[in-house]
Amino acid sequence: MNAPASTAEKKIIPIVASPDKGPIAPPPGADEETIALYEAHQKIYPRSVSGYFSKWRWALVFLTQLVFYGLPWLEWGQRQAVLFDLGARRFYIFNLVLYPQDFVYLTGILVISALSLFLFTAVAGRLWCGYACPQTVYTEIFLWLEKLAEGDRSARMRRDAGPWNVDKVWRKTAKQLMWIAVGLWTGFTFVGYFTPIHSLAGAVMAMSMGPWETFWVLFYGFATYGNAGYMREQVCKYMCPYARFQSAMFDKDTLIVTYDELRGEPRGGRSKKADLSTLKLGACIDCSLCVQVCPTGIDIRKGLQYECIGCGACADVCDTVMDKMGYARGLVKYSTQNAVNQRWSGADILRHVLRPRVLVYSSVLLAVVLAMLVSLWMRAPFKVDVERDRSTLARIVSGGRLENVYRLQIMNARETPQTFEVSAEGLPGLTLSTDSSMEVGPTESRWIAIRVQLPYEGAAPGSHPIHFTVKSAPDAAVVTEKSVFIVPR
Amino acid sequence: MSDFTSNFWSVYVTAVTVIGIAACLFLLWFSGKAKAMTAHDNTTGHVWDGDLREMNNPLPRWWVGLFVITIIFSAIYLAFYPGLGASAGKLGWTSTGQFQAEIAKGEADIAPIYARFDAMSAEDIAKDPQAHAIGERLFMNNCSQCHGSDARGSKGFPNLTDADWLHGGSPEKIMETLNQGRVGQMPPMAAAVGSGDDVKNLANYVLSLSGSPHDSVRANLGKSKFAACAACHGSNGKGNPALGAPNLTDDIWLHGYGESAIINIVTNGKVNQMPAQAQKLSPAQIKVLSSYVWGFSNTGAVK
């Protein structure tokens, strides 16, 4: 590890996107200082921003929250359309009834989510972080409420620095009330996915919520309030693991929010009418707006940093400045490292989208999605478990027939009663001595004792594999389960 | 901790716990005081592999606050719960106490469910769907091991779904069987019957009682030997529920079918035991379970 490499063949690995700056050489010892290992929290006052990417973010805020807040209110037949009934261990998703045995579908959803994240990140960086992550979405909502009550960045900073007066108190109170209201509503909605939301609303009105419901409404509400109101960028910087491994998914053709250093530098203030060529200045007027709007408080002009959540706020605000100055847009923009270094056009970037890693992610993702859909499509609307009787190995009944006893658990995954036809195969002369037809109620799981008989000496002593075929009468779906028939000596 | 004769382990555990917490506090204090050398570009000056440099990424102070909260929590926890050696904690919590509280809570929870069956007759309970569901679970957990999950028994374990009852099939008798258990005694009778041939003749006579395949010559010869059996099984072989003596005239063979099985049981006898359940199940559970079992042969609700 510590083997000193000769300085001549020192290979430089840039950690920033800028092409010619390279890594900063370690300065001589004289430049050193001592600092504490802990850092006091610096409050960030993000300036509100409007523009192309901001519109996209708000569109996604509306879309995701319309789904989140709206879905539990949707009715489907006699019940809530999406309900995770943990008590009864049934998950209802529209016309789908999932049993605990269907948890493999959750695995599928998680795999799809992870692969989508890899794919989107490889193509366009932290799209999830910047636009759809709940932390971003709720922070956006809370920031909007904050602006409503306290005004934009400069007003908030001035008021926070000033003394407590009537104006400050009522504005802060108004903000808190709005934050708490949104937090509680979010907590209430969250619990509404697990307890029917109409009856939950009734229980809230009557102040008769159960202890667990009360706890989760308050806990989830508090988590929303704390994370979106106070923790904000701290969650992204210190708690979220994603920032730490995003570099594994980035390459030089990944879209990132980046500052065009070649065009921007040297930066400096100037009059709008000034002539750039005589001033020997780049396009950056050093207005610092890109820093002011950044929700994680970084300076994008320093290159790609792990704190950057790729929200594009700096790109939006820089475009408005460029418009005002009469310069071309795109000093801060979504671009790739290769595109910036090699002055590529948009078409060049597009040409480099289909890289091996993107193709691999896409094909694996497609395969998993297809497998999920096919398996959901072909899923039998019931499940069967066969258990041999716990004690009776075999018995001889009148007529000298051998009898084995099994318990069949039939789980109806439909919301209508189903009639099932059971048969046993695998040995010559195998018959059911119990009624072969049975009804199981809607979403009910029923154990049924089944007796199977074989003529005496119909098979050699020992255990013989047999299988049960259970057929659903309405749609002829079939489930086959293995078991054994025991012939005593 | 009261199980030990000396208080060594108590002191040991207390010391490990207290020193552990103190070490955490010291670590916090020490790293709060410590300063790191840092270059102006926010690297620590540490270089690996020639060009890999370490950045200084200070921990946010609120995160340190969470660490402090865990230490405060541990102090409060140790004050209220056992953890510091032999100290029982302010709340006096024990795992045994919690176990008993949960048992009491469980019993209190199910009491209203069983209370409903108190005033009901066995016949009504047998028809009640909720009682049926409870009875099925009780049966599966306590009875199916011997009688089978379909209650049809097997060799040595009576079938509970037919109309044949060794000790009587009324709900009261079934409840008595469940509460006290039963012992079925068939003494070895070979000596009383006579020679091996006599026993074989007797076995054929017994088979003839139910019209099962038999040797009629031997059956006739064995008829007189049945006097030895009549004391329990009755002169006509119809059995006696008061003694638990099986009816020999039906086609039900608890201990095996055919000549050799009968010879075996006459020669060797058999002690069959149904264990008492009164210690295991509450009276309310016994009531529901006996009605459930009664229902097999009386309501047509055979599974």
- Name the token pair of A333: 């923009």
Comparing alpha-carbon positions, the chain B residue that sits nearest to A37 is: B58
CB atoms within 10 A of CB A53: 23
How far is Cα A106 from Cα B212, in angstroms, rounded to an integer? 61
What is the CA angle B263-B265-B269, rounded to 5? 135
Report whether B55 contacts B43 (CB < 8 A).
Answer: yes
Cα→Cα distances B101→A87, B98, B108, B184, B228, Å: 23, 5, 10, 40, 57
- Of A38, A134, A249, A124, nearest to B58 (Cα)? A38
Report whether A172 contacts A160 (CB < 8 A).
Answer: no
Report whether A302 contacts A24 (CB < 8 A).
Answer: no
Residue B87 in contact with partner chain A when CB distance is under 8 A = no
Across the interface, whether the CB atoms of A37 and B58 are under 8 A apart is answered yes
Cα→Cα distances B66→A223, A339, B72, B192, Å: 15, 44, 10, 87
Cα→Cα distances B265→A43, A153, B166, B209, B249, Å: 91, 98, 17, 17, 16
Alpha-carbon A162 to chain mean position: 40
DSSP, collapsed to helix, strand or coil, labels residue B282 as coil
Which of A38, A410, A422 best probes binding to B when mutated, by most B CB atoms within 10 angstroms? A38
How far is Cα A7 from Cα A14, in angstroms, rounded to an integer? 16
Query: Residue A231 half-sphere exposure, CB side, CA atoms within 13 Å?
Result: 20
The pLDDT tens digits for A240-255 are 888 788 778 888 999 9
Report whether A140 contacts A34 (CB < 8 A).
Answer: no
Q: What is the ipTM of this complex?
A: 0.71
How far is Cα A334 from Cα A253, in angstroms, rounded to an integer? 11
Question: Does residue B142 surpass a pLDDT of 90?
Answer: yes
Residues of A in contact with B145 (CB under 8 A): 390-391
How far is Cα A462 from Cα A466, in angstroms, rounded to an integer? 13
Report whether B81 contacts B87 (CB < 8 A).
Answer: no
Report whether B242 contacts B160 (CB < 8 A).
Answer: no
- Note the pTM of the prediction, 2 decimals: 0.81
Residues of B in contact with A32 (CB under 8 A): 37-40, 45
- Of A299, A328, A297, A330, nearest to A315 (Cα)? A330
Across the interface, whether the CB atoms of A26 and B41 are under 8 A apart is answered yes
Comparing alpha-carbon positions, the chain B residue that sits nearest to A406 is: B149
DSSP, collapsed to helix, strand or coil, labels residue B202 as helix
Residues of A in contact with B32 (CB under 8 A): 36-38
Across the interface, whether the CB atoms of B40 and A389 are under 8 A apart is answered no
Alpha-carbon B169 to chain mean position: 25
Q: Is the peptide bond before B112 cis (omega within 30 degrees of 0)?
A: no
Report whether A485 contacts A392 (CB < 8 A).
Answer: no
> Tens-digit pLDDT profile for chain A (489 aa)?
344 444 444 444 444 444 444 444 444 454 566 777 788 888 899 999 999 999 999 999 999 999 999 999 999 988 999 999 998 899 999 988 999 989 899 999 999 999 999 999 999 999 999 999 999 999 999 999 999 999 999 999 999 999 999 999 999 999 999 999 999 999 999 999 999 999 999 999 999 999 999 999 999 999 999 999 999 999 998 888 887 887 788 889 999 999 998 888 888 888 887 777 777 888 899 999 999 999 999 999 988 888 899 999 999 999 999 999 989 999 999 999 899 888 888 899 999 999 999 999 999 999 999 999 999 998 888 999 999 987 788 888 877 788 999 999 999 998 889 999 999 999 998 999 888 888 999 989 888 889 999 988 888 899 999 999 999 987 788 999 999 999 987
- Of A444, A452, A487, A486, nearest to A468 (Cα)? A452
Length of chain A: 489
Residue B300 is which amino acid? G
How far is Cα B271 from Cα B120, in angstroms, rounded to an integer? 36
Query: How far away is chain A from the Cα of B146, in angstroms, using its nearest Cα?
Result: 6
Query: How far away is chain A from the Cα of B14, in angstroms, using its nearest Cα?
Result: 31
Which of A21, A37, A238, A406 best probes binding to B when mutated, by most B CB atoms within 10 angstroms? A37
Residues of A in contact with B58 (CB under 8 A): 35-39
How far is Cα B13 from Cα B20, in angstroms, rounded to an integer? 10
A80 bridge partner residues: A75
How far is Cα A39 from Cα B42, in angstroms, rounded to an integer? 13
Length of chain B: 303
Q: Hunting for tokens 């594994």 — which residue is that?
A: A248
Query: How far away is chain B from the Cα of A57, in angstroms, using its nearest Cα?
Result: 28
How far is Cα A258 from Cα A332, in angstroms, rounded to an integer? 6
Report whether A452 contacts A431 (CB < 8 A).
Answer: yes
- Of A188, A185, A208, A205, nearest to A196 (Cα)? A188
- Of B270, B275, B228, nearest to B253 (Cα)? B270
In chain B, what is the greatest distance between 2 CA atoms, to the nearest angstrom? 117
- Summarize the confidence of residues B238-262 as an average pLDDT: 88
Chain A contact residues (CB < 8 Å to B): 1-5, 7, 10-13, 23-24, 26-27, 29, 31-41, 234, 238, 389-396, 398, 403, 405, 407, 434, 447-449, 451
- Name the token pair of A424: 């046993």
Across the interface, whether the CB atoms of A35 and B149 are under 8 A apart is answered no
A and B: number of Cβ contacts within 8 A: 122
How far is Cα A396 from Cα A390, in angstroms, rounded to an integer? 17
Report whether B268 contacts B261 (CB < 8 A).
Answer: no
The pLDDT tens digits for A186-224 are 999 999 999 999 999 999 999 999 999 999 999 999 999
- What is the bridge-based pairing of β-strands B52-55 and B59-60? unpaired
User: With DSSP H G I counted as helix, E B as strand and the rest as coil, what are the percentages for chain A, rounded to 5?
Assistant: 45, 20, 35
Report whether A222 contacts A229 (CB < 8 A).
Answer: no
Comparing alpha-carbon positions, the chain B residue that sits nearest to A28 is: B39
Residues of B in contact with A1 (CB under 8 A): 48-49
pLDDT at B174: 94
Across the interface, whether the CB atoms of A449 and B149 are under 8 A apart is answered yes
